[in-house]
Structure 1
Amino acid sequence: MSRTDPRYLRYVALGDSQTEGLGDGDEVAGLRGWADRLAEHLVRHSPGLHYANLAVRGRLAREVRTEQLSPALALQPDLATVVAGVNDLMRPRFDADEVAGHLEAMFAALTAQGALVATLTFPDLTRLIPLARPLGSRVIALNARIRDAARRHGVAVAETTGHPVVTDPRLWSVDRLHAGPLGHQRIADAVAHALALPGSDDSWTRPLPHESPASRWRSVSGELRWAGTFLGPWLGRRLLGRSSGDGRTAKRPLLLPVRPRQDTADGRG
């Protein structure tokens, strides 16, 4: 299906917690997330669209490939999104070439079957998490490889890097690792723009209204609270060899119809 005829029948999303929708909804009411929001955008122009979301939190790029690629191919999507690598970035042993290799293998397999594929680059985590400063060079390296792999396979790339609004804390949930509702909407809008979908534009890059910065004391105390509430448990899971996705399966493994939904710009229904 060409980008000049943006009508889709089958959209399949592959990835980890961001694509699953953490930070947008909850376990009781259900998770929404940017892939759901993109599907809701698509169905307005593609009546009859069916959508599956195979993403599972905590998955490394290798695991996304081994667990999700075959089911995705079996669903024969004409549109797929592949977003993975952040969990790899945060592991002690990180190999940008290895991670990008898994992503490229998914790009190649999906595009070879005729799907249009979209992905995105990752923001500078150090602007959200000062303690993550050592990861800055990893993000740059992985983003460069994602762009190269995408170019080789005709994959659309939503370039989140270079836009200051992407690291505005108001787009992120309190754990700073997952987008909040507004952030998920911006990601969906970025991918829609990269795909040149009807009704999409670059408004997702625009900054939010100015907000006075927090005092130094509030910033320091906030960092300490964040470390105790989120960083500590995350490190504990790593030391024990556990993942937040242990025992979990995809929230939407089958292609199901999508209902059109109208939202305000900030993600509130």
Structure 2
Amino acid sequence: MKRLATFVILGDSAAAGTGDADKNGALRGWSYYLAAHFNQPLVYANLSRPGAQSAEVFIDQLPKALVLEPTLSAVIVGGNDALRNGFNPDVLRQNLRQTLKQLREVGSEIILLQLHEPTKIAPLPKTLGKILNRRINSVNTVIRAVGAEFGAHILAVRDIPGIYDRNRWHVDRMHPSKLGHQILAQYFREILAPRWDISPVTIDPVTQRARKDSLLWMLRHATPWFLKRSVDLLPAALLLVMGEYLKILTRRDRNAQAVLYFPEFVNHRESGIAQVHEERVS
């Protein structure tokens, strides 16, 4: 008899499956499709929540996951941290380190996801887009460094061919579509297949959303979300843009931005010292 596997999902909307709901509105997402193709007994628990930041993952979701003693864990987080006022990559790093450390202590294998470049699918004003990309790059740097420290497997979304094709994204242009989630499941399956018995993930036929349906969705869902988040996002965005222009007006050098250092952990058999990566963020 094949061993029982326990697969837990921690994180935000990218983990919860936003962008891929069934006819009843229940979210599925890449982890659902991946779990459906396991050829061994599987306990599947998606503990993620849309909107979650790294602190919630560590404080609220992780304890529930540890009770299950997972053999495989996915931790997908960082995007909401980057979108909030007061974003601090070091806080993200600390929360992610503690989360991965405790999952490793119960013997769990871990998979992570590095974020795409958001302005390639959702164009923004140049200055704001530049700031957002810097923040997302700093999130990816944290994920890469912490993942390497704890031996996690990392899927870099930006390396997936054709990932910015429109049909791979939901109408909100922030989350994968059903096709996008199934493609992510395929790539995670490739990462895990050498150690887990998982069948190839199949891709369902793609149905194009009518323009009318897309507009109705935006009015019903995107507009209320935008208004709710504007209280937090807009003041932060305005302050960041103003700060960017002040740097230009005062001719401050780009290198005067805050400098953060994250260790790039390498196998000690290959190097006697830890490499250091420098990341600059607004």
**TM-score of the superposed pair, with normalisation by structure 2:** 0.68
Tell whether 2:120 aligns with 1:123.
no
Tell whether 2:65 aligns with 1:72.
yes
Counting matched residue pairs gives 216
How does 1:1-269 map onto structure 2 within 5 Å? 9-26=5-22, 28-42=24-38, 44=39, 46=40, 48-131=41-124, 133=129, 134-196=131-193, 197=196, 232-240=223-231
1:185–1:90 distance in 2 versus 1, CA, 3 Å:
same
CA distance in 1, matches of 2:3, 2:231: 46
1:27–1:93 distance in 2 versus 1, CA, 3 Å:
farther
CA distance in 2, matches of 1:18, 1:65: 17
1:238 Cα deviation (Å)? Answer: 2.3
CA distance in 2, matches of 1:26, 1:225: 17
Paired residues of 1:100 and 1:149 also in contact (CA < 8 A) = yes
> Secondary structure of 1:65's partner?
helix
1:162 Cα deviation (Å)? Answer: 3.1
Structure 1 unaligned residues grouped into runs of 5+: 1-5, 205-223, 243-269
User: Which structure is richer in relative contact order (CA contacts within 8 A, separation 6 or more)?
Assistant: 1
CA distance in 2, matches of 1:90, 1:230: 19
The structure that has the greater radius of gyration is 2
CA distance in 1, matches of 2:140, 2:46: 23
Percent identity between matched residues is 34
Paired residues of 2:9 and 2:47 also in contact (CA < 8 A) = yes
Paired residues of 1:124 and 1:167 also in contact (CA < 8 A) = no
Paired residues of 1:160 and 1:190 also in contact (CA < 8 A) = no
1:160 Cα deviation (Å)? Answer: 1.4
Which residue number corresponds to residue 263 of structure 1? none
1:233 Cα deviation (Å)? Answer: 3.5
CA distance in 2, matches of 1:7, 1:127: 42
Paired residues of 1:8 and 1:79 also in contact (CA < 8 A) = no
1:145–1:32 distance in 2 versus 1, CA, 3 Å:
same
- CA RMSD, Structure 1 to Structure 2 (Å): 3.1
> Secondary structure of 1:145's partner?
helix
1:90–1:37 distance in 2 versus 1, CA, 3 Å:
same
Paired residues of 2:85 and 2:232 also in contact (CA < 8 A) = no
Could you tell me which amino acid in structure 1 is paired with residue 46 of structure 2?
Answer: N
Could you tell me which amino acid in structure 1 is paired with residue 15 of structure 2?
Answer: T
1:23 Cα deviation (Å)? Answer: 1.2
**TM-score of the superposed pair, with normalisation by structure 1:** 0.71
CA distance in 1, matches of 2:102, 2:225: 33
1:26 Cα deviation (Å)? Answer: 4.1
1:164–1:234 distance in 2 versus 1, CA, 3 Å:
farther
Could you tell me which amino acid in structure 1 is paired with residue 227 of structure 2?
Answer: G
